[in-house]
Structure 1
Amino acid sequence: MSHTDTTPAPSLGVTLWRQTWPMAIGVLSLLGFQLVDSAFIARLGTAPLAAQSFTFPLSFLIIGVQVGMGIAIAALISRALGAGEQARAKRLGSLVLLSGTGVIALLVLLLWWLQAPIFLRLGAAPESLGLIRSYWTPQLLSAWLGACLYFGYSLFRAHGNTRLPGVLMVVTSLVNLALDPLLIFGAGPWPGLGLPGAAIATVLAFALGLMILGWRLAGLDWLSWQGLVDEWRLSLRPFAGIAGPAMISQLMPPLAAMLAISAVASLGEAQVAAWGLANRLETVSLMVVLAMTMSLPPWLGRCYGAGDWAQIHRLLRLALRVVVVWQLALGLILAVAAPWVAQALSGNPEVRGDLAMLVRFMLPSYAALGVCMLVVSAGNALGWPLRAMLMSAARLFVFYLPCLWIGTWLAGLTGLAAGAALGNLLAGLAAWGLLRRVLSSPRRMAAVSS
Structure 2
Amino acid sequence: MATIDLTKADIRNAIVKQSTPMLLGITAVFSISLVDTYFVGKLGTKELAALSFTFPVTMAIASLSAGLGAGAASIVSRTMGEGEQSHAKRLSTDSLIFSSLFVTLLGTIGFFTVDPLFSLLGAKGETLALISQYMKIWYLSMPFLVIPMVANAVIRSVGNAKWPGIIMVVSALINIGLTPLFIFGYGPVPAMHIEGAAISTAIARIFTFVLALYVIYKHEDMLLICLPSLSQFINSVTKVIKIALPAAAGSVVNPLAIGVVTGLLASYGDNVVAAFGVGTRIESFASIPLLALSAAIGPIVGQNWGADQKGRVIKSIKYCYSITLIWAFSVTVGLYFLAPSIASIIASDSSVADIASSYLLVVSSSIAGYGFVIISAAAFNALGKSTTGLAHYLVRGFVLYVPLSWLATLWFDYQWVFYAIAASNIVSGIFVATYTLYWLKVAKKNDCEPNAFSFQ
Q: Shorter-normalised TM-score: what interval?
A: over 0.9
Q: Deviations over 1:344-365 (max 9, x none)?
A: 1111011111111111011221
Q: Which moved more, 1:259-268 or 1:246-255?
A: 246-255
Matched, 1:414 2:415: yes
Aligned to 1:139: 138
1:189: how far off? Answer: 5.2
**Whole-Å Cα distance in 2 between the matches of residues 227 and 198 of structure 1?**
38
Give matches, 1:357-368, under 5 Å: 357-368=358-369
Is the 1:158–1:298 Cα contact (8 Å) retained in structure 2?
yes
**Whole-Å Cα distance in 2 between the matches of residues 392 and 10 of structure 1?**
30
Give matches, 1:246-285, under 5 Å: 246-285=247-286
Change (3 A) 1:236 1:198: closer
1:253: how far off? Answer: 2.1
Aligned to 1:287: 288
**Whole-Å Cα distance in 2 between the matches of residues 114 and 155 of structure 1?**
31
Matched, 1:54 2:82: no
1:423: how far off? Answer: 0.9
**Whole-Å Cα distance in 2 between the matches of residues 415 and 328 of structure 1?**
22
Is the 1:335–1:361 Cα contact (8 Å) retained in structure 2?
no
**Whole-Å Cα distance in 2 between the matches of residues 202 and 75 of structure 1?**
28
1:226: how far off? Answer: 5.4
Is the 1:335–1:364 Cα contact (8 Å) retained in structure 2?
no
Aligned to 2:399: 398
1:188: how far off? Answer: 3.7
Q: TM-score, normalised by structure 1?
A: 0.94
Q: For 1:412, what is the secondary structure of its paired residue?
A: coil
Give matches, 1:134-213, under 5 Å: 134-188=133-187, 190-213=189-212
Give matches, 1:38-437, under 5 Å: 38-188=37-187, 190-220=189-219, 221-224=221-224, 225=226, 227-437=228-438
Amino acid at match of 1:49: L
Is the 1:62–1:108 Cα contact (8 Å) retained in structure 2?
no
1:10: how far off? Answer: 5.8
Q: Deviations over 1:285-323 (max 9, x none)?
A: 111111122222112111111111011011111011111
Is the 1:33–1:173 Cα contact (8 Å) retained in structure 2?
yes
Q: TM-score, normalised by structure 2?
A: 0.93
Structure 1 unmatched runs, 5+: 1-8
1:379: how far off? Answer: 1.1
Q: For 2:413, what is the secondary structure of its paired residue?
A: helix
Is the 2:95–2:237 Cα contact (8 Å) retained in structure 1?
no
**Whole-Å Cα distance in 2 between the matches of residues 15 and 387 of structure 1?**
25
**Whole-Å Cα distance in 1 between the matches of residues 132 and 301 of structure 2?**
42
Matched, 1:447 2:450: yes
Is the 2:372–2:429 Cα contact (8 Å) retained in structure 1?
yes
Q: Deviations over 1:136-188 (max 9, x none)?
A: 11122333311122111112112211101101111011111111111111124
Q: For 1:266, what is the secondary structure of its paired residue?
A: helix
**Whole-Å Cα distance in 2 between the matches of residues 228 and 305 of structure 1?**
26
Q: Deviations over 1:262-298 (max 9, x none)?
A: 1011110011111111121122111111112222211
Structure 2 unmatched runs, 5+: 1-7
Q: Which moved more, 1:434-443 or 1:172-181?
A: 434-443
